[in-house]
Structure 1
Amino acid sequence: MHYTRWRNYGSPFRVKQRSEWVYKPPITRFWPKIKLDPTTECWDWTASKSRDGYGCFKVGRKILQASRFSYTHFVGTIPFGLEIDHLCHNRSCVNPKHLEPVTKKVNGERQDKTRLSISHTKTHCLRGYPYIEENIWRDRKGIRYCRACSRFRDQRRRSLFKPLLSIQPRLASCSRASQCPLVRKPPAPRSTAGSRRWHSRH
């Protein structure tokens, strides 16, 4: 081991006693994990994050969102049933001035407006097709999608099912074809006994 690490942190083979542990309050551990962005005034979270990009902060035995901890510490408690919305649209931001508790419906509507504004600024899709009226379709929220990419996805999906369709005739001749879920079973014959009895009565 390098001698500087040994000098700073001591021997790695010596187990620290419980009396040597130093308790640090959550707010003391909170500040070193923040990086200030001077242009947007965002407090970017530099520690661990979730898959969605939200900061994770451990308080006691619980892992909280860093944005919720920041709002609770600097502003106050979050009302029950509300969630934190980032006004700066930066999920890693923990600046309490950029956070606002809103309902889930309001948060979803704001996200849709953001996606809609981003969609209108794009001129080409990810595969390079232009966003022109002949090549786009819109959903009920007004977000644009590329028709060429949609056709490409449909063709790819059909190509995945072609091998299954080709092996169905071979499976039908198998002795265990009735037990195989890939074999198309013919519909059951419809019984006409009831209709005959009805006609005989009338």
Structure 2
Amino acid sequence: MIKFSDERLPQRFWDKVHVAESGCWEWKPGVSGGWYGSYYRDGRNVRPHRAAYEALVGPIPEGLLVRHDCDNPPCVNPAHLRTGTDRDNAQDRDSRGRNWRASRTHCSNGHPYDEKNTYWRYGRRYCRACNRAAVRRYTRRNIGVVSQDRGGAA
């Protein structure tokens, strides 16, 4: 069992951590970039939750990131952290209802995201009406260029 103030991390790390009632060990100074904070280690800035994971659990496998089971970005408690892929992280986000795009019912131009007007590409949804309008604009803008190129070639 890993305990708060574990000696594998320096005291200057622990001086910046507060134990919350939820059981989270919250990083208190200067949170930025999505509320994760920054910790200077080995000549570079790292995310505090990554530093805690590497020191108290072990190395982070190549291509994986450290995810928060507690859904609290400043938390550095290794019991609340685990590694996973970007896809795992996105699935966590979606299952917790934090995907702002998923809750949108209309595109930015006001067209509904319904079965008839929506298509999916690379895991993301798009508006058919907006796509048709973009294709029309592109065609109008470039059709003259195409005609001139064809007519000018001898």
TM above 0.5, one fold? yes
Instruction: Tell me which of 28, 39, 42 is aligned to 2:11.
Output: 28
**Would you tell me which structure has more helix in proportion to its own residues?**
1
Between the aligned residues of both structures, percent identity stands at 29
Within a 5 Å distance, the mapping from 1:6-155 to structure 2 comes to 27-38=10-21, 40-115=22-97, 143-147=102-106, 151=110
Q: CA deviation at 1:54?
A: 0.8
5+ residue gaps in structure 1? 1-24, 120-138, 152-183, 195-202
Paired residues, what number? 114
TM (normalized to structure 2)?
A: 0.61
Query: Aligned partners of 2:59 and 2:142: how far apart in 1?
Result: 60
Q: CA deviation at 1:109?
A: 1.6
Q: CA deviation at 1:105?
A: 1.8
Query: Aligned partners of 2:12 and 2:107: how far apart in 1?
Result: 50
Query: Aligned partners of 1:59 and 1:28: how far apart in 2?
Result: 13
Q: CA deviation at 1:26?
A: 5.4
Q: What code does the residue aligned with 1:144 have? A: S
Q: CA deviation at 1:146?
A: 4.6
Q: Deviations over 1:146-195 (max 9, x none)?
A: 549853xxxxxxxxxxxxxxxxxxxxxxxxxxxxxxxx79824563999x
TM (normalized to structure 1)?
A: 0.48
Structure 1 ranges of 4+ moved more than 3 A: 146-151, 188-194
Q: Which has the larger radius of gyration?
A: 1
Q: CA deviation at 1:100?
A: 0.3
Instruction: Tell me which of 147, 151, 154 is aligned to 1:191.
Output: 151
- RMSD of the TM alignment (CA)? 3.2
Instruction: Tell me which of the two structures has the higher relative contact order, counting C-alpha pairs closer than 8 angstroms and 6 or more residues apart.
Output: 2
Contact 2:9 2:52 in 1 (8 A): no
Q: Deviations over 1:65-103 (max 9, x none)?
A: 100111112222222221100000111111110000112
Contact 1:26 1:59 in 2 (8 A): no
SS at match of 1:112: helix
5+ residue gaps in structure 2? 1-7, 111-140
Query: Aligned partners of 2:13 and 2:51: how far apart in 1?
Result: 9
Q: Which residue of 2 aligns with 1:123?
A: none
